[in-house]
Structures are given as C-alpha cells and as structure tokens.
Structure 1
Amino acid sequence: MLKTITSSSPSLPLLFKFNKSSSSSSLSRCLSFPFSKPSNPPTLRTFSVLNSFKNPMNNLLGKLGFASRTPVEASLADSSAIAQGPDDDLPAPGQQFAQFGAGCFWGVELAFQRVPGVSRTEVGYTQGLTHNPTYEDICSGMTNHSEVVRVQYDPKVCNYQDLLDLFWARHDPTTLNRSGNDVGTQYRSGIYFYTPEQEQTAIESRDLQQKVLNRTIVTEILPAKKFYRAEEYHQQYLAKGGRFGFRQSTEKGCNDPIRCYG
C-alpha cells in the first residue's frame, strides 16, 4: 500500500510504503526526488517513480502486476539481457543450487536453513527485467522480479524432492501474486530450476500437489535466471532477530513455529 505525504520543503512529495506486514503501522521511505535536474541520465527507476506521481492508480496496479509501462520504461527494461540471462554462479564442489519463490523471503529462508543437508541460503531477486535492482525497485511492481531463496544443498544428504515438499508446505501456491498479507508480483509462487532433472521433478511434484489441493496452482516453473543477492539486512533476517530482536533457531531439524516478521 502506498501513501504520499507532503512536506514544507520545496521538493516533490515523498513516497512511503507500508512495511511488509499489513498489520504494522510503521512506514519506511522509499524514494524522493528534488526539483533540481538529476546529474545522471534517467533510469527505469526514475521514470517509474515520476510516473507514480502522475498516475497513482497505475502505480497501484503495478503493485498488483497489471500496470502498463510507458514506452521509455519498456525500452529500458527490455534492453537488459543480463537480468534475463542464466544464473552463472557456481555452488560449492559436491553441492547443488535450487531457487524458490514463496512470498516474503524471510520466513522461507529460515525454513530452508533448518533442513539437514542445506549448507547455505541466500535471499535475493530474480526473473526481472532490470540489472542490479534494489529492494525499492522490486517493490515498485515495475521490474517483474520475484523475491526468492537460493538454496545450496548436498544431494547425498538432502534430495530435491525434500526441498519441494517444504516449498509446498510453506505457502499457498493457488494465490496469484500474493502470499498471505503480502501482495505484489515479487511475492509470486515460483520454482526456478537449474537442471532438466530439477525441472521434471518440479513438474511431477506440482501435478501431484494439484490433486491434493484440488485448486488451480499458479506456481511458475522456469529456468533459474540471474540471481541478485538482496541487501545485507535481508540476509538471515529472522535468525538475526527480525523486526523485534528475537532470534529464531536455525538448528537442523528444528520445528519451532516461524514468526515471519520476527
């Protein structure tokens, strides 16, 4: 949800957004632009923000994944071959990567951290149109990035199906661009595979889950694309204490309830 407030200073209104939890009343400032001409060339982020001032409804629709882009935004976004390229990072020797999008990545990461055989987790952004996006960029709804957890695991200890089982259990895969109270294209359900074997296993797992739920699953199953590691404060957010400073256990096999925001 976006809210615009005015200031006595000679600048454009400041754009604020509610924090991830809809029950929270705290606000965090996303972006602001002075009237002075910027020294750097305009970027997709610049045009997206200025467009939100001109057309608040389009900005709201962007959060829900239905907004149209201006020709300039489309040109800038579609020109990024890097963002649409494959994830070219390499896992540690003897390890494999997996990528999952299941809503807000804080709680999802903690769940995977607890899985025996998982040696590393990182949260980040992928499947989008722009190179090196920030958290504010993806929250605009204009870059098409998804919040994901990249899992590094030892296939001798943990198989891919185990990770898929946890993925399905962590969220509702039948809600489009939404997970619980979090709404926006960045919260969409997705499985991003690295190998043909992962793809086949993911499809079979989805089809089985479809029969169990008896509702249409909207989870996208796509090749893993460029992974952009999220800002450091997002990494292991709940293990470090989250919003309220209460550390949550990452111990393997731990079944403590996960408080998604700390």
Structure 2
Amino acid sequence: MLKTLATISTTSPLLSTTTTTSATTAKLSLSSPSFLLSLSKFRPKPTSPFPQTRRPISLHRPTMNILNRLGFGPKTPDPNSESAAIAQGPDDDVPAPGQQFAQFGAGCFWGVELAFQRVPGVTKTEVGYSQGLLHNPSYEDVCTGTTSHSEVVRVQYDPKDCSFETLLDLFWSRHDPTTLNRQGGDVGTQYRSGIYFYTPEQEQAAKESLEKHQKVVNRPIVTEILPAKKFYRAEEYHQQYLAKGGRFGFRQSTEKGCNDPIRCYG
C-alpha cells in the first residue's frame, strides 16, 4: 500500500498545499483557476428564502421621490422659452358643430373623466395635460413636477342638453378643492384643482360658482380659474381608463345618469 504524506505550508499569504507521494511532489495553489474550478462543482448554489417574483409596475405611478411630486425635484425636462410659448398658447382645437368645450382639473383624471362621461349632454371626453411650460409633454414629464402641467379632462358638451353650471356642480362634488396640489393619496402639482374657461361667460359662471361653494366648506378653496391653454391629449391607455376596465379589469359603466360608485383606480 502506498502511503501519502501531506503537509500544509502557511508561510505564504496565499495558502498553498504541498503534497508528497512516493512518486512525485506537487504544489497546488488554492487560488489557481483549475483548483477553484474543481471546487465550484461541489459548491451549493445560493438560494433565497423568498420567492423570486417580479413586482408589478403601475402604469399610472412611475417611480419618483416626494420632492419631485411636490415640484421641487430636478428640472429634468428643462422647458425653454420657445417650448413654453407654445404650451401657454390657447387651446386651438375646435369642438364639433353646436358643441362647446370645458376643461377641469380635479386630481387623477381617470375617475373625473368617468363622472363627466355619465352626464347627459356630454358628447365627448378626453384626458390630457394643460397649463404647463413644456410642449408635447409625456406622462413621465408631467410627473416630475417641473413642467407645471395639470391633469385635466376636456369635456365636449351640447349646451342645449347640458349647462356649464351642471358641469361645475359635478366638478365640486368630485374632489376636495381645499387641498393644494393634492387629492387623497395623489400628491403633486399635476393634481391641483382648476377650472379652465373658454369664454367670458364660462369665466363668470366659474367665479360665481366658487363663491357659492365657498359658503358650504370650512376651509379656503384653492381652485384656480384660468383661461384654457393648449391641450395635450394623454397617452392612449389613459383615455376612458375606467370604462376599459381600469387596473383590475372590471369595466365601469358610462351610461348617462348612472349613479354607480366610481372606483377611481379600477
């Protein structure tokens, strides 16, 4: 029987093993590629105690910090004067013959749009961005809090079947006009309260309606009343979001006069 004498030398900082046999003497470095490769075959693969799943990403809430939501984050879009001049121009779209436009900002535009869709006399609704300083903004641009845009619903209505005052009453009922740049858990300048008028008659009606509503709330109303500016239609997945099924796939009715509770995120 062959006897093997093994000694381990610790004089080197890279621990080495000296093996002596009756035939040969060999020195293997523990750090040699061949030695490490041979060891790797016997190493157990690391395992995680948690299931490896992907976290779902919300289409409506891109990642951002609280400073960006409040409008104090880095000015990523950096609107220039030319871009601002275009964005601050009037809404030059034309409603259908015999129809009128109105624009409202009342927090997240999904639930607000569905509420207006249900109003008799409203013939079309679109969600988008307005009152900002950046031409042709994306949703991600608006959510940085640096472009000054508001999430708005542009309502087209037939004044013979629906008065502007009816739209104003719904506007006040759909949100809290006393919270600045916030509606519930939605925080940011894009969620501010606003009535954006197209005609002097709408402006006057909006101001009178605000004064009337102020008498029934305990805190100052912070709703802005301004001329309607250029309207940028939001991405297609935002349009009629809740009617399409929302976040959870449950479609909500757009029938005129429907009083079903609106689930704001689906």
Q: After TM superposition, give the deviation of residue 60 of structure 1 in Å.
A: 3.3
Distance 1:239 1:29, change over 3 A: closer
Matched, 1:239 2:240: no
CA distance, structure 2, for counterparts of residue 180 and residue 220 of structure 1 = 18
Deviations 1:151-177 (A, max 9, x none): 000001100000000000000000000
Q: Which residue of structure 2 aligns with residue 160 of structure 1?
A: 164
CA distance in 2, matches of 1:65, 1:210: 27
SS at match of 2:216: helix
1:243 is aligned with what amino acid? R
Question: 2:78 — aligned with what?
Answer: 73
Distance 1:166 1:104 in 2: 15
2:232 to 216, 228, 233: 228
Q: How does 1:1-262 map to 2 (within 5 A)?
A: 26-28=56-58, 60-67=66-73, 69=75, 73=78, 76=80, 79-262=83-266
SS in 2 for 1:119: strand
Give CA deviations for 1:38-63 in whole Å, capped at 9, x if unaligned: xxxxxxxxxxx9xx9xxxxxx63231
Q: Give the alignment's TM-score, normalised by structure 1.
A: 0.76
Query: Do the aligned partners of 1:65 and 1:177 also contact (CA within 8 Å) in 2?
Result: no
- Tell me the distance in 1 between the aligned counterparts of 2:120 and 2:171: 15
Letter of the aligned partner of 1:162 in structure 2? T
Q: Once the 2 structures are TM-superposed, how far is the Cα of residue 67 of structure 1 from its aligned partner?
A: 4.9
Report deviation, 1:215: 1.2
Is the contact between residue 133 and residue 149 of structure 2 (CA under 8 Å) also seen in structure 1?
yes
Could you say if the C-alpha distance between residues 184 and 78 of structure 1 is closer, same or farther in structure 2, counting changes exceeding 3 Å? farther
Q: Secondary structure at the match of 2:165?
A: helix
The amino acid that maps onto 2:250 is F
**What TM-score results when the alignment is normalised by the length of structure 2?**
0.74
Question: Secondary structure of 1:144's partner?
Answer: coil
SS at match of 2:85: coil
Deviation by residue 1:122-176 (Cα, 9 ceiling, x = unmatched): 0000000000000010011111110000000000110000000000000000000
Aligned to 2:127, what secondary structure does the other structure show? strand
* Structure whose alpha-carbon radius of gyration is higher: 2
Deviation at 1:202, TM superposition (A): 0.2
| Distance change in 2, residues 1:79/1:113 (3 Å) | closer
Look up the SS of the partner of 1:165 in the other structure.
helix
Give the match for residue 22 of structure 1: none
- Residue-by-residue CA offset, 1:175-221 (whole Å, 9 max, x unaligned): 00001110000100000000000000000000111111031000000
Any idea what SS the aligned residue of 2:226 has?
strand
1:77–1:64 distance in 2 versus 1, CA, 3 Å: farther
Which consecutive aligned stretches of 4+ in structure 1 deviate over 3 angstroms post-superposition? 25-30, 66-70
One-letter code of the match for 2:214? Q
1:101 partner SS: strand
Note if contact 1:118-1:154 (Cα within 8 Å) is conserved in structure 2. yes
Q: Percent identity?
A: 78
Kept in 2, the 8 Å contact 1:77–1:130? The answer is: no
1:184 to 1:77, Cα distance in 2 relative to 1, 3 A: farther
Instruction: Indicate conservation of the 8 Å contact 1:101/1:191, yes or no.
Output: yes
What secondary structure is seen at the aligned counterpart in 2 of 1:190?
A: strand
**Distance in 1, Cα, partners of 2:215 & 2:201:** 22
- Which residues of structure 1 form unaligned runs of 5+? 1-24, 31-48, 53-58
CA distance in 2, matches of 1:201, 1:107: 24
Contact map agreement 1:117 1:153 (CA 8 A) in 2: yes
Say if 1:152 and 1:79 are closer, same or farther in 2 by CA, change over 3 A: closer
